[in-house]
Amino acid sequence: MSNRIKLDLERTLGGLDPNVFGGFAEHLGRCIYGGIYEPGSPHADENGLRKDVLEALKRLKMPNMRYPGGNFVSGYRWRDGVGPKEERPARMELAWFDVEPNTFGTNEFIDFCRVLGTEPYLAVNCGDGDMREARDWLEYCNGTKDTALVKLRKSHGYDAPHNVKYWGVGNEVDGPWQIGFKTPDEYARAYTEYAKVMKWTDPSIKLFASAVSLWRRDWVERAQLLLEQAGNLIDYMALHWYMGNDAVRGYRDDDFASYMAASEILDDRLSSYEGLIRALRLENKLQNPVYIAVDEWNVWYRTHNEEKLEEIYNLEDALMTGLQLNAFIRHASSVKFANIAQIVNVIAPILTRADAMVLQTIFYPFEVYSRTAGDTALDVHWSGDTFSTPEHAALRFLDVSATLDSQAKKVSVYVVNRSLDREIESSVELAEGRFAGGGRAFVINGADIKTINTFDAPDGVTTREDTLQAKGASATYTFEPHSVTALVFDLA
């Protein structure tokens, strides 16, 4: 069968929001302490931020950064993390059963964001916290009036408001593992009241409701209650997921084809959630847009708290990163925000040791997508060779998405070749317009799907960059087995 990828530059899905390339840093294991912040390290700057990690993160071009959790936030007191460090209390924290020293807090995080060039996205405690604490934190960060909280911020050395635009109300409130787990009704009520006072405190903020992380029960009811009771106070419905090559998070244990078939779960979740929001906006006559934020996503299935979630990623996980990013691009009309969980050490693209750093396999697709994606998602049509699993028949080997950058006159085509052993040649055809002749191909691959990057052998999986030749209305490209490829074509 011939493989064809057809692009119509006028057939768009709408804007691709760069915020889908966001990150997430939680007080968990070595993400903050020993990851982004390690005073005394030879790699640290004068504020204790690790310069090697900052440089690697800059390559990922993340427009926003979620903080401080995660499960951690459901027991967090933001006041513990501001003011003179020697006065900050160490606390027992019950999300990850660790001692939190609080030497890194709100202002250190904002400083980190400013150095990195990313917008902070703070989650408030809707676990064992209350709405007073949440709105106080917002006032501390964004307030401009002559109030005690603004004076407090100024006394900590920050005269200008932090202007934090993105705020999440709680984390994974649907999970029994959460401190302060809430039933659908309890959370809808709590969200409404938190959101009301937070928007009164600063009407310019954007709010995220914790919608679903456990995809097994009550997520439809949760959406229904939230949009019924607080629809006009919700900017984003926050979804979480973690994929894995196992029967718990996917279809089967250690089965490559089944793992790669997870594209179907991703599409099912996003399509059904889009439909749900659409139905509930109609039913509740909501005028405001309500978008999807997948504010935790990644591969996570091997490690637990004992290993501090220091997952070691292989090539097939890098393909899974490509599948997830393709899903966001194909659902760009509704998915306007997403956060890879997390950024350093904890289920992360970057791993550190005291003396060194390694870029994991999943670093590379994220970097290529975030640096090459255009501002508009295309409704790409493709056909070709297929594979089947016990659960799915006739899935296309190639998983494809595409974007357009009309200013720069470039079209980017993202392809995950899910075949273990087959090169797949495909045409890339333009319905109208012409390729200008040149372009670049970025290929992420390694010797086999289990290849990992280690401190001793850091280049098992990396990105190879080639030039492209493409003139006229059609080009041909051969996609390597088990690879992620971005083709960035110049348009005439």
- Please give the positions annotated as active site: 172, 296
- Residues in Cβ contact with 53 at an 8 Å cutoff, skipping those fewer than 6 apart: 35, 36, 43, 344, 350, 352, 357
User: Minimum distance between the CB of residue 53 and ligand AHR, rounded to whole angstroms?
Assistant: 18
SS3 state at 442: strand
Residue in the shown chain whose Cβ atom is closest to ligand AHR = 70
Region near ligand AHR per CB under 6 A, out of 64-72, 98-106, 399-407, 481-489: 64-72
Which two three-digit tokens encode residue 379?
Answer: 């409704």
Q: Rule CB under 6 A: which of 429-458 touch ligand AHR?
A: none
Q: Is 93 in the site for ligand AHR (CB under 6 A)?
A: no
Indicate which single residue of 133, 172, 202, 317 sits in contact with ligand AHR (rule: CB under 6 A). Answer: 172
Cβ pair 364, 234 in contact under 8 A? no
Q: Give the binding-site size for ligand AHR (rule: CB under 6 A).
A: 10
Q: Are strands 410-417 and 483-491 parallel, antiparallel or unpaired?
A: antiparallel
Q: How far apart are CA 312 and CA 454, in angstroms?
A: 9
- Span 66-85, contacts to ligand AHR by CB under 6 A: 69-71
- 258 belongs to the binding site for ligand AHR (CB under 6 A): no
- In angstroms, the CA 79 to CA 81 distance is 5
* Tokens (6 digits) for 284: 């509740």
Among 19, 20, 26, 168, binds ligand AHR (CB under 6 A): 26
Interface stretch with ligand AHR, choices 79-87, 246-254, 339-347, 366-374 (CB under 6 A):
339-347
- Asked if 296 is part of the footprint of ligand AHR (rule: CB under 6 A), the reply reads yes
Total residues found in the chain within this entry: 492
**Which of the stretches 276-284, 331-339, 340-348, 461-469 binds ligand AHR when contact is defined by CB under 6 A?**
340-348
Q: Which two tokens stand for residue 273?
A: 């959630």
Tokens 């490209």 belong to 477
Give min distance, CB of 171 to ligand AHR, in A. 5
Helix (H) or strand (E) holding 7: strand 3-7
Phi-psi region of 472 (alpha: psi -120 to 50; beta: other; left: phi over 0): left
- With CB under 6 A as the contact rule, the residue among 102, 342, 360, 412 that binds ligand AHR is 342
Least distance from C-beta 68 to ligand AHR, angstroms? 10
CB of residue 229 to ligand AHR, shortest distance in Å: 23
Short-list 360, 348, 338, 343, CA closest to 309: 348
Binder to ligand AHR among 243, 341, 359, 377 (CB under 6 A)? 341
The 3-state DSSP class for residue 283 equals helix
Q: How far is the CB of 296 from ligand AHR (least distance, A)?
A: 5
Which residues would be at the binding site for ligand AHR (CB under 6 A)?
26, 69-71, 171-172, 296, 341-342, 347
